[in-house]
Structure 1
């Protein structure tokens, strides 16, 4: 290919990229793809002995794109650091009314069903089949060599993946249900609260609390809190559709989605942490019950303290 044809084919892309690098205006180009293409074009220009002016132009453009690309990657890492240090807890506190409502919808049915299942030996069968009850009892039987779901000792990694899929599935349904005027989020919060309360009440009544509570307390600090947060984000979506204010419902939903996703990102990270603890820590029978209870209590204090106090001071945000 002659140099004239080469420049004609790629010249418009070079000019657009030079303009963007100089002014930085939107829309932002696909910089990684352009950078790879520039490197190939520079190599071709050198191999075909094109003029030094063209080679110098491409060399400068490659260098400028390289600097901007890795600067963007550094900024993205800084943004995530800011989000974990301050952005996530601030987003939760900004939606605290929805968080309290979600917690009430989750915890109140759980408490009522838990007390009822502890008092009555038949109430649990209103939410679980006899086969499910037997399976749940087997999972937390103190005589078992493992806690939770039965598995081989070499399958912790597989269970880690299972717990991620299961936990995030529950949270996603709880959040996405908010698009149904909030009714979906309410349903999943109440349903999961009832189910959880039934299990806790029944297993406590038959004396399996000695294995249930040490198993749940560690990862529960992340998992149960995350479900409440997912519900709060869903309720925020629902409220925007019910009462959009001066905006159209579509615009109100878009604004609410941005606010809700600030919670959902962190919620998914919490569920990954919960899955890791459930697979590798909670299910271990080699760790003393007192240690599990102590660590679990510490994790609950850590989570609560994080959302109460993190990000209240001045935390520099990458821009």
Structure 2
């Protein structure tokens, strides 16, 4: 077979194999759906063997050096992907935090944006309504719970926030983790009900948090409440919206499964959303740490706590905007 005929027959397959190598390296991850990534994983070994066979043919038939060089490079790339040592766990985590998570956030940005609207708009409406009728809070929160909230943010307290029965920051750290992660996973799991559960939890939490914040502000506790929430709000609120977005992804798969069976579509979309779940869970743990060891303290000046909160919000925005854009 002449070289021209050989290349005409197989160039498309070599180009595809080269693209697959880029996907496995992560360079084109944002352009590839979960289904295609799984197909690449299944087909890659067979395609690698074919490239090796083509390389041996090119050498035996004395095809051009350029063609042999290209096939040799593809064979080396395939060998590297199939037989390279597994990445250490710590390195994998660092790579995910440094690039994978923010890339997943941007890739599924429309779901995260819709989640944010479902969270923010009901809360904004509640805040506006409560300026006209402060008693609206009792339609969501019973009087005993309102009184408890007021007690938590009493300026006379040594530590702000929830009463500490054990009086230790570590105990509250564990409590905040359980509470925060529980809220996040309810939002994610709510996506199984065609997204209705996620929408409900997003809207309800937006209403509840806005009602509490507005009431405490109007009641004169703004000097303690807002410095308390400023520290951990960037991590906690962003994570809640991310979990909601992951749930909405499953819900959309259930509503529009395409050619797949409905359950298979939901399952595949849930796998696609896992980076958001892992990253959001990490953010909730970080929020719990800040809430337990920083937000509850009363010794820093209020202006300093606001400054720290502002810096954390800026860092959060930059983190999701920049990292992972130009990395392989």
* Residue aligned with 1:143, SS: coil
Say whether 1:245 aligns with 2:258. Answer: yes
Q: Structure 1 residues 136-145 or 168-177, which shifts more?
A: 136-145
Aligned length: 246
Q: CA deviation at 1:251?
A: 2.3
> How big is the alpha-carbon RMSD for the aligned residues of Structure 1 and Structure 2?
1.6
The yes-or-no answer on 1:167 pairing with 2:180 is yes
Distance 1:272 1:110 in 2: 24
Whole-angstrom CA distance in 2 between matches of 1:132 and 1:194? 15
- Alignment counterpart, residue 299 of structure 2, candidates 261, 275, 286: 286
Deviation readout 1:168-226 (Å, 9 max, x if unpaired):
00001011000000000000000000000100111111121111111001111000100
Question: 2:111 is matched with which residue?
Answer: 98
| Partner deviation per Cα, 1:91-121 (whole Å, 9 max, x = no partner) | 0111111111000000011111122223322
CA deviations on 1:135-155 (whole Å, 9 max, x unpaired) are 111111223222111226841
Gaps of 5+ in 1: 1-24, 27-70
Q: 2-side partners of 1:78 and 1:167: how far apart?
A: 27
1:207 is the counterpart of 2:220: yes
Residues 134-283 of structure 1: pairs in structure 2 closer than 5 A:
134-151=147-164, 154-283=167-296
Q: Which runs of 4+ in 1 moved over 6 A?
A: none
Instruction: Give, in whole Å, the separation in 1 of the partners of 2:182 and 2:125.
Output: 25
Query: Structure 1-normalised TM-score?
Result: 0.74
Secondary structure of the corresponding residue to residue 122 of structure 1: helix
CA deviation after TM superposition for structure 1 residue 123, in Å:
0.7
In 2, distance between residues paired with 1:84 and 1:77?
Answer: 11
SS in structure 1 of the partner of residue 88 of structure 2:
helix
Residue 75 of structure 1: CA displacement?
2.9
On the 8 A contact 1:116/1:201 being kept in 2, the answer is no
Q: How much does 1:242 deviate? A: 0.4
1:80 is displaced (CA, Å) by 1.4
Structure 2 stretches lacking a partner, 5+ long:
1-40, 43-84
Map of 1:307 onto structure 2: 320
- Point out the more displaced range, 143-152 or 117-126: 143-152
Q: Out of 284, 290, 308, which is 1:295 matched to?
A: 308
Is 1:91–1:263's contact at 8 Å kept on the other side of the alignment? yes
CA distance in 2, matches of 1:108, 1:145: 35
Distance of 1:190 and 1:157 partners within structure 2: 31
CA distance in 2, matches of 1:143, 1:117: 26
- Equivalent residue of 2:282, what SS? helix
